[in-house]
Structure 1
Amino acid sequence: MDKFIFLKNSKLKREYENLFQSLKNVKNALKENKPEKVPEFLNQFMFFLVDYFNKEENLMKEFKYPDLEFHKRDHQLINKKLEYFFVKSDIQRLDLSCELIELLENLLIDHVNTFDKTFNLYLNIKIDSLTEFLSKEAFFDTLQDFINKAKEKLIEDIALIVLEIEDYSLLSLTLGAEITDLLLKDFSLFLREYFHKPNIIFGKYKENQILIILLNYNFLEIIEFLEDLVDKVKNFKFKTSNQTIHLNISIGVALYPHDGDEAFKLLKSAEIALQIAKREGRNKWVFFDSKFLKELEKLNRIKTLLERAIRERLVIPYIQPIFDTHNLTIIGGEVLIRILDEKKNIISAGTFIKHAYELGYIEDLEALLTEEINKDEILKLFKNKYIFINKSVNSYNKAFFVSEELKLWKEIAKTHEIFSIFEITESSIINFLDVFQIISSETKTERIGIAIDDFGSGYASFTSLLKVDPKFLKIDGNLIRQINKSKKCYNIVKGIVSIAKDLGIKTIAEFVENREIAEALKNLNVDLFQSFYFCKPLSVEEFKNLIS
């Protein structure tokens, strides 16, 4: 037995142990001169050998091991050798010697080692070592097999699910690769324990993606599974030495044959559905719809447009003037982003800004826009005027970066005699309120400040305003549009303006679409207008001509 190296990942550990223990019992009976025990132990050995060979063959069939026939022939050869040994040996006269048993033992050790090493090597290709789910290749072979059986009417329904763990890169960055691997391993075990059924098959796909096949689930059962899956994941906890991690997921679902009649087509549909689910928010699931293809094509076009704009620095500023409501003098303007396409056509933000956020390009675009704004020919246009600059804040790192930018703009404002205002959405202020409370200390000077955008959209309270100390409130456009149609909207705007004046905060109304709205806002003492009704966004040259 010393020559036998038992591999820890073996699927047949118990069978190995039984087989070689029975041989050891035969050898001990021979050494102790107890011939009456030898037939009993030999019968045990033969029973365990048959059991081992059967389990080995079943395992090879289960995992579609390509050398099954070779090992079957090896089993037959070993059985013939055993027959030869036992026919020649007279057990009662102890002609069955310890040497013969050792020869038999060595024969089996060679076989077991050969099978165990080659089979485990094969499993390393078929089974993902971290999750112990099927590897990507094995999963798609399995999925295609099921599809082939469905075509023969042997299986009724197949659903393919792509599950993605959100913020995985951030987890890996903050926890480290080793802890993140443990998290994924623990999560995979969690899924196997809760959804351990023969008609549910798991596979590992990309770094943060898991594949699931549901067999013979009708549509309502799939819905129930998805709801159960999301609920279970919400309850999943992974504890490190100093924190407890909760996961968020997104799920895309595709159904055979409606969304694809081959494995690769079904996967493509499920991946498209996943992208839509990610855009809808955390812990959402979406079934594939053919209309998504057009949406995906549009997204890919915009992605190409944004990547070229960033790579070739095709970002240009436009400026929308901001007017005093009482005398319509221009007090400054908001700098808006535009990009150029391959034909140098100007593309407005409405075409791409939402996708820039989704695709993670907004920070690069803002950085390029800031470079353009910082040019002297633009800054001098705002001498003794307000320049409003949009800043996206979707993380604590970005919030702290904005704090550093404010310090920089404090010097720029002083040097160029301008008033610099960072425009930040109400939701961002609330999400990172503690950081903006610190930032507010940077905005005590006259020439630097914060404007809260979309105020009244449902996130903030005036209590939070006192903590942030903004210089401007941009009232939510939906309220402005409805001010003459909805008494509720009118009263909300009236309340915002009244409290803002008491706090010394100026109010700005966007989306003033006609004279009637403008008059209503003027009567409510809104301080400033910014809208297409008064002036559309202008190129730098057009803005220069307007103010001169």
Structure 2
Amino acid sequence: MNEVLENLEKYGKNMKILYVENNEDVRDSTSLILQRTFKNVIEGFDGVDGLDKYKLNSDTIDLVVTDISMPKMNGIEMISEIKKINPNQQVLVVSAYGESEYFTQTIKLGIDGYLLKPTILEQFLEALAISVEKIRLKKENRGYQNEIERKNSELKSLNDLLETKVENRTRELEEKLYIDDLTGLKSRFRLDIDIVDVEFPVLILIDIDDFHSINELYGTNVGDEVLKNFSSLLKDYTQNKCYEVYRISGDQFVLFESSEFLNHEKILDDINELFKQVLITKFPLKEKNEFVELSITVGIAIENEKILGKADMALSYAKKNNIKFSTYHLNIDASKEIINTAKWFKILNRGLKDDLFIACLQPIVDREQKTIKHEALMRLVSEEDSIDSHTSPEIFLPIAIQTKQYSAISYLVIKKAFKLLENRMEDVSINLAYQDIKNRELIHFLKKILSDKEIAKRIIFEIVESEDIGDFEIVEDFIKTFKGLGVRIAIDDFGTGYSNFTHIMKLKPDYIKIDGSLIKNIDTDKDSFELVKAIVQFSKELNIKTIAEYVHNKEVFDIVFNLGVDEFQGYHFGKPSNNYFTLPFNNYSSSPLP
């Protein structure tokens, strides 16, 4: 009993109660009991009075205690009206009527207790205690719900703010990537997007002949001025035509048209008109008060696949044969390519048969220039075929893919890379292409060996995002699976070609490895500098570490270091080597791989 009273006094003092009773003596005596417990007791003299007072205080009344038999409006009618106002209102009935009819009606109304008069004090207090406990729990639950809703609202606001910031920053970076800073023309990245799924594309690749001589003779500032003037010429030339103009590299430009039908005579007329326009134009050198004349060579491609590469082949053919322009066709160097492919097919077969493919290690250092890991690089050694020691895969892998030998070669070298972990403690980066990710046998091997968490945490997979990826969901699933095992992920060769910022946001890699073509000339190429700077800033905002490869001298290292790159790789720190025990590392591991 004492415990019941303690709970009533503890929780009831913060509650308001409406007590409705038409019998004055009963009302007075019961009110005295209620006032000892509740901070505020409102008395109602009958059903109508009780309902009126409830309406005035409906937001603050915690509990209604009422009789049934009352003039003007009985308790059941009053409860019914109260429930219309607040269906969750706690109600306790104290009545002399014990007929089942009243029980049934009050139960349907959802009351919390029914006591018969005359009530025993202990029973009355116990009923009050039960009602008070229900009210307390409801308030507490409501408080929890409100707090959860508040926290959820705060989290949603923070998430919305973060998403907005990321979207805005991504948009800024994309705009920077899509517009060439020097000329204001569309960039190579914009071209890569625009040429996708075009039914009848025409791409004209323009190269300014011997432009490096202008830079060497007058300096890059003057050279930049010439490039801007040449860009203005292209804009004027295309003003009444359907071509879009792009600058894709230092002295190379593209005219691109998406036509409903091809008109070869029109294309030829357009090319001849462009040659004439360039021929008659004198480009001013403001700082020198002189003029320079330019000439151009053009490669044309009218293709649906790899159109820029094919235009580049046509351009190379035109330069090699000292002609003004060439249009891509299948016979350009086709015989040489066939002979070269046949030669390498034999070499690669012998390499697989005689185990001539090796895994070399190249150190990767941190900002203190301490070796923290190595990249396992594929090399081919074959004296019989006059192949230099440590031949780079850039020479033979494209042919291996073409001749269906790639999967076997890659699987072999990856297994050798894992074998190296037995005697070394550093982390190792392993390159994977889309063909590797689709190789079920290789994936089975990787899952088995990386089920050992101690091995998995030492592995970084470097994935090249390229136009060869047919199903991006396969790559996403692969990354999700192996990150779950503890493997870290790097996106390799980022910054050229098919690099996609949207995919980076989806994949959430641990590292972005900036493409070597941007790093190796960063000390002389302003565009490379700006692009690397943008990539580093983008990565830091997404908490992704950056790695610069092709760091071949101190000048390049100092530049990428000051841009905030996290890790570095290149000949400045060490060449790839298969003499593993001369490479820097901390200590040995004696645990064999499974």
TM-score (norm: length of structure 1): 0.44
Q: Which has the larger radius of gyration?
A: 2
